[in-house]
Amino acid sequence: GDLKMQVPFPFSSLCLQVIKCKAAVMWEANKPFSIEEVEVAPPKEHEVRIKIVATGICRSDDHVITGALVMPFPIILGHEAAGIVESVGQGVTSVKPGDKVIPLFVPQCGECMNCLSSKGNMCSKTDFGKSPGLMPDGTTRFTCKGKAVYHFLGTSTYTEYTVVHESAVAKIDSAAPLEKVCLIGCGFSTGYGAALQTAKVEPGSTCAVFGLGGVGLSVIIGCKVAGASRIIAVDINSDKFAKAKELGATDCINPKDFNKPIHEVLMEMTGGGVDYSFEVIGRTDTMIAALACSQYNYGVSVIVGVPPAAQKITFDPMLLFTGRSWKGSVFGGKNLEIRWKSKDAVPKLVADYMKKIFVLDPLITHTLPWTKINEGFDLLRTGK
């Protein structure tokens, strides 16, 4: 014991053990999750092992299951979570065991072109690259039944313990309720930031939000905080309208109630189109509709939903020629005054939540024990 006490703290990973714990493993596409015992290796240099306390279910996880987002199998999904640092690898300085943290599916390495730019937030170390499913060193920390299991977006939160790179974790307020602020790990930040940072919604403006899941509702919260005078919520599930109005929508419309294209309906409602529109579903037809319903000369339309794999968009270029802007937004988009880079923005958003600048509770419809993850995905797929 005395010898171990003398080992300098940064080198404590040398005596860390493999952790055996439960995880929800996805063995192949279009099958249920399987609750398995997995081995989670100790964190290597500049890595952090986290005990996951709460995790959300996001449509992007389901996109992997259906094949719309291509990833290798077997895989541990999940990317919206909060937890407590269990141990750290050599050289880790930004967090220590016991810290409350949120894993970041968009890391912040601080060294790549996007991290160094004041304009971007899409770190090049993001797990969308050439070898998805692996840690930056090209290996995995998960094993199940003797097989290597892939990571998802550098986070993999459907497990009792996970390992992330130090650039993909943010320390947060120790008083924050993890079962609420886990949403800041993806859905809330993505929607709220798309409104405030990517679109830069202005006071008195008009907005249209296509898709009223957790991210779409977070866009509505952002539009309201930005001072939009009119926020039109669009969804084919009218059951979602009450929650949208509670969070700030002024109008709710169901495309099924009209026998004309929805962009024409919105153009008529607003006398020429909205200032800002948001596609928060991930469908090419609604992406074009959102673009077309924005004001023809100065409208801004933002793609927030993950585009489906292998699908292309065909549209009339006159939609852009007249002056509209079409933007994409990942994890809240571009970086402005409040530094919307993940490692910087997430602790600030948690602090803003603690100051009651925005609410998260209405975004949480169900709380389940994580072994009921398949039931959770059924609730997602049925729009509940």
pLDDT digits (tens, 9 = 90+) for 207-262: 999 999 999 999 999 999 999 999 999 999 999 999 999 999 999 999 999 999 99
Domain co-membership, 80 together with 101:
yes
Asked whether residue 317 is domain-assigned, the answer is: yes
Domain co-membership, 91 together with 195:
no
Asked whether residue 6 is domain-assigned, the answer is: no
Residue entry with tokens 């939160």: 157
Q: DSSP assignment, residue 42?
A: P
Domain co-membership, 178 together with 216:
no
Domain co-membership, 207 together with 246:
yes
Domain co-membership, 40 together with 179:
yes
Asked whether residue 17 is domain-assigned, the answer is: no
Q: By residue range, what is the domain housing residue 305?
A: 191-328
Q: How many domains does the chain have?
A: 2
Q: CA–CA separation, 88 vs 97, rounded Å?
A: 7
Domain co-membership, 132 together with 196:
no
Domain co-membership, 227 together with 86:
no
Q: What is the CATH number of the domain that holds 38?
A: 3.90.180.10
Q: CA–CA separation, 297 vs 321, rounded Å?
A: 9
Average pLDDT, the chain: 89
Provide the pLDDT for residue 8: 43
**69-123 pLDDT tens trace:** 889 999 999 999 999 999 999 999 999 999 999 999 877 777 787 777 777 677 7
Residue 179 backbone dihedrals phi, psi, to 5 degrees = -70, -10
Query: Is 72 strand, coil or helix?
Result: coil
Provide the pLDDT for residue 3: 43
Asked whether residue 104 is domain-assigned, the answer is: yes
Domain co-membership, 144 together with 254:
no
Q: What is the CATH number of the domain that holds 297?
A: 3.40.50.720
Low-confidence residues of the chain: pLDDT under 50 = 1-13, 335-339
* Residues labelled as active-site residues: 58, 60, 63, 79, 186
Asked whether residue 278 is domain-assigned, the answer is: yes
Asked whether residue 28 is domain-assigned, the answer is: yes
